[in-house]
Amino acid sequence: MLEVRGLVAGYRPGAPVLAGVDLELASGRVLAVMGRNGAGKSTLLKAITGLARREAGTVRLDGRGIENRPTEWIVRAGIGLVPQGRGVFPGLTVEENLRLGGLGHRRPLPPAALYTRFPVLAERRDRDAASLSGGEQRQLAIARALAGNPRFLLLDEPSEGIQPSLVEELGATLAALVAADGLGVLLVEQNLDLAARLADECLVLEDGRVVDRLPGPVLADEPARIERHLGL
Amino acid sequence: MPVDPVLLLDALAQALTLFLVASGLAVTFGLVGVINLAHGELLLAGAYTALAVERAGLGYWAGLALAPLVVGLLGFLLDLLVIRRLRERPLDTLLATWAAALVVRQTVVALFGPASHTIQPPIPGSVVLLGAPYPVHRLLVMGLALLVAALLAWLLFATRLGLMIRGAIADRTLAAVSGLAVRRLEALAFAFGAGLAGLAGAATAPLLSVDPQMGLGFLLPAFLAVLVAPGGGPAGTAIGAALVGGGESLVAAFASPVLAQLAVLAGAVVLLRRVAGRRAGRER
């Protein structure tokens, strides 16, 4: 279980972006985080993984406080992060990206295991990661985070900048990971269709606070409720 | 005009010597992103380590083996006490590493005096190469540079540590997000780069006059070699060293040493523009 309580965090002292966020994420569940630009969604993921400056609050993994640990410790403890943007190591091959994702972890997944989930990466294994298409780079970024065999995966807008057919494919891959491997996913996403397909629950952030909690099916059944928050 | 083959050999020797100096700098500049103005003094420390060990009666080879260890430790301390405290503050880092350079230089003056010293080459004399006598020690330094190039290539491209270092150079934050202890990696890389500078100092000491200013002459060409290097890695540094070291040596031989210095100065302007460009790129 990943639990966040009263998290206040940002980038400069005295100027928090998050103003006290609470959430719980269990294994095999998907929690979507939605909100307008600047609401604090990416900062939430960065604060959990020690990349943003925490001013108050706790982050617990299976009851153990991890909020004062450095990023690499948190990642090794089982929380993978796919940051916004391409999220791959340019200049390294696809296979090197995957090997690097597993180094330093106790039970890494070998590239071969990841290729079964992301077959296109197997075909590109010796190519420079920077030469892949946007969609392929997103898949590589997710596969790299999975190489450390995390129990929880924090995804920052995985569908950003990739074509709709690939978003569909990505959704299927993520759904399989959650169902088969019991992965817990914290999904920051602007794409309502992808969030609706995957989420068990959805938090809506506004100005660094949780202003609404919606059951997952609501996203698909009553999209107007979430669209109102997103200003759509 | 027929080209004297010894001139070409000299240019090659100059390029390989510069490679030896610049390879340590390439590791620290590439991974830590710091312009270490004390790099020349790390080389100086290597040369004086060789001198001290020789004076202690242990001979040149022991000095050559000890210099990278002593200077690696010095680099580790420099990183621990100065570099990591000034991360993300490039101007302060320039000043602090320049100050560290002064401290090292003045310590050398205090311990060994301001005069120059000579270290006898372990294998004196020359061999006939391309029809002319060529100093054996210069050939040894060239061989050592090639050995370092091979070692670096193996380390970077055939080991787990090398993969980690290349990953951290490509994207520091993503490396941390992948579970790598980037700070520890940087400390190791800084000590390793310093050790290479120490090795370069001890290796070249018998070819030069060992004095407190000897590091200064290497600093600018070494930075130029790293900055004009296409891509990262030892191959890029070797090309950079060939362009800068070999080029300077040939210009000095065919035109004049003054023109060669001017060429280095022109290169320095390019250096400043590129450093400014990289910083602007990072801040965007």
Model pLDDT for residues A30-40, shown as the tens digit of each residue = 999 999 888 99
Where does the pLDDT of residue B218 fall: very low under 50, low under 70, confident under 90, or very high at 90 and above?
A: confident
CA distances from A218 to A26, A56, A155, A170, A203 (A): 20, 32, 21, 21, 12
Contact between chains at A49 and B177 (C-beta distance less than 8 A): yes
Provide the 3-class DSSP secondary structure of residue A103.
coil
> How far apart, in whole angstroms, are the C-alpha atoms of residue A25 and residue A19?
19
Provide the 3-class DSSP secondary structure of residue B132.
strand
CB A89 within 8 A of CB B170: yes
- Write down the domain spans for chain B: 5-115+130-283
Model pLDDT for residues A128-147, shown as the tens digit of each residue = 999 999 889 999 999 999 99
> How far apart, in whole angstroms, are the C-alpha atoms of residue B42 and residue B215?
8
- pLDDT at residue number A160: 86
Examine the pLDDT at B269 and tell me if it is beyond 90. Answer: no
Contact between chains at A100 and B163 (C-beta distance less than 8 A): yes
CA distances from B121 to B169, B208, B242, B280 (A): 38, 10, 25, 46
What is the residue-wise DSSP string for B180-203?
--HHHHHHHHHHHHHHHHHHHHHH
Where does the pLDDT of residue B3 fall: very low under 50, low under 70, confident under 90, or very high at 90 and above?
A: low
Average pLDDT rounded to a whole number, residues B170-186: 91
Contact between chains at A91 and B170 (C-beta distance less than 8 A): yes
- CATH (one of 3.30.70, 1.10.10, 1.10.3210, 1.10.3470) for B5-115+130-283: 1.10.3470
Average pLDDT rounded to a whole number, residues A207-218: 88
Where does the pLDDT of residue B279 fall: very low under 50, low under 70, confident under 90, or very high at 90 and above?
A: low
> How far apart, in whole angstroms, are the C-alpha atoms of residue A215 and residue A230?
16
Higher pLDDT pick, A27 / B87: A27
> How far apart, in whole angstroms, are the C-alpha atoms of residue B178 and residue A96?
12
> How far apart, in whole angstroms, are the C-alpha atoms of residue A173 and residue A121?
13
Q: What is the ipTM of this complex?
A: 0.91
CB A34 within 8 A of CB A224: no
- Residue B84 has which token pair? 């990591």
For residue B246, what are the contacts with CB-CB under 8 A and spacing of at least 6? B11, B12, B14, B15
Examine the pLDDT at B278 and tell me if it is beyond 70. Answer: no
Contact between chains at B178 and A144 (C-beta distance less than 8 A): yes
- pLDDT at residue number B23: 86
- B177: nearest CB among A81, A90, A105: A81
CA nearest to B164 within chain A: A100
Q: To the nearest whole number, what is the mean pLDDT of chain B?
A: 86
Chain centroid, CA B79 distance in Å:
16
- B180: nearest CB among A88, A90, A104: A104
Q: Residue type for A46, please?
A: K
- B163: nearest CB among A83, A88, A96: A96
Model pLDDT for residues B31-52, shown as the tens digit of each residue = 777 888 899 999 999 999 999 9
Examine the pLDDT at B270 and tell me if it is beyond 50. Answer: yes
